[in-house]
Amino acid sequence: MTLFTRKQIYLDNAATTKIDERVLKEMIPYLSKNFGNPSSLYKLGKESRIAIENSRKKISDFLKCKQDEIIFTSGATESNNLAIKGLALAHPEKKHIITSQIEHSSVLLVCKEMERLGYKVDYISVDKSGILNLQELKNKITKDTLLVSIMHVNNEIGTIQPIEEIGKVCHQNNILFHVDATQSFGKIKIDLTNINLLSASAHKLNGPKGTGLIYIKDLTKIRPMLNGGSQERKLRAGTENVAGIVGFGKAIELAKEKMKNNEKVKKLRDFMIDEILKIKGSYLNGSREKRIFNNANFRFDGVEGEAILIMLDQENIAVSTGSACSSSSLKPSYVLTSMGLKPEETHSSLRISLGYENTKKEINFAIKKIKSSVEKIRKISGEFKC
């Protein structure tokens, strides 16, 4: 069976997810006959406005927050930028930000930009299991601290950070708390009690790309990043992506049911971990216990992760590497180096993220091909000795 006839086995759901057919069906009318601008006062525009507000209600009900606390954006990257820069603009009297060493680049690069603008930023370390050092965070807090920005689930290793405890610390010290929930929203429970801002993206939960949100707790003072119209409570100018927002609402509606299958996916993931760790010289990167149910990140002695990825791709299996390999100059994963791994160890990493549609048959086939790929690569290189 060739690459072109074998069914795709998709195991890179942390990168993006396949849009659910029911989501697409809900969106199509707003890409064709219901095309009105939601700011227009005539019927066609009002229908678009109603559709947006219906989605806002679905999402606010899911998060158990007020409808007007949900602001739609183009995705989590925009939401992360709005959270950090928008708070900084609204609170110029405070010049200190705390984040972690393993945040998504849309947080880290914004923080680097804030440093160039005169802000002090502390990057909290993580332990060898990929969990943030809470005591270090507490020690870094000062009277000048404006914001703590910590992701809920890491996009690379899937570790779950103690956001409830961090939120309590922030609340006790009158510090604003932003959570990048891109990898957890619609998958696991999120308690908003001590969270001021939260970012999420539709395409991580079988919704459309190009649509995201930021939750902004009532009375949290923030300045817009885009100037223009008065859409989205005057915090996000620009004509709304009606079809995308409708799709986001449907995706979160479906997520309520899909979350009931989390344990089923976790069992498949755990089976895969157990089987792959039978390979000599293989390791699991990050905590096994404090990890989202569908993520597994491995490394293999004497094997380049990219080489495994290419061999699996030839078998129509889609996974991701643990290093930034998009350029000719390979850079080690900053997430894995922050955990204490050597550069060569980070380059031998492979990220696998399951979806609700994956089957035991698919996982068995993927395990078989990962084992054979590692074996072939080691034979070719001749570097690994059992």
- Distance in angstroms (rounded) separating the CA atoms of residues 158 and 270: 13
HEC string of 30-73 equals HHCCCCCCCCCCCHHHHHHHHHHHHHHHHHHHHHCCCHHHEEEE
- Distance in angstroms (rounded) separating the CA atoms of residues 317 and 56: 36
- Distance in angstroms (rounded) separating the CA atoms of residues 224 and 165: 29
The number of C-alpha atoms within 13 Å of 110 and in the hemisphere containing its C-beta is 25
325 assigned to active site: yes
- Residue 258 — φ and ψ, nearest 5°? -65, -35
Sign, CA dihedral 47-52-53-58, equals positive
H-type helices in 64-213, by residue range? Answer: 76-90, 105-116, 134-140, 163-172
Name every residue whose Cβ is closer than 8 Å to that of residue 318 and which is 6 or more positions away in sequence: 8, 9, 10, 11, 12, 312
- DSSP 8-state secondary structure symbol assigned to residue 166: H
Collapsing DSSP to helix, strand or coil, 353 comes out as strand
Integer CA distances (angstroms), 252 to 23, 38, 158, 220, 300, in order: 10, 21, 21, 25, 36
Sign, CA dihedral 220-126-107-200, equals negative
- Distance in angstroms (rounded) separating the CA atoms of residues 102 and 157: 10
Among 65, 111, 170, 325, the active-site one is: 325
Contact 161, 130 (CB under 8 A): no
- Among left, alpha and beta (phi > 0; psi -120 to 50; other), residue 169 is alpha
Integer CA distances (angstroms), 371 to 300, 323, 376, in order: 10, 20, 9
- Distance in angstroms (rounded) separating the CA atoms of residues 11 and 170: 36
* Residues classed as catalytic: 325
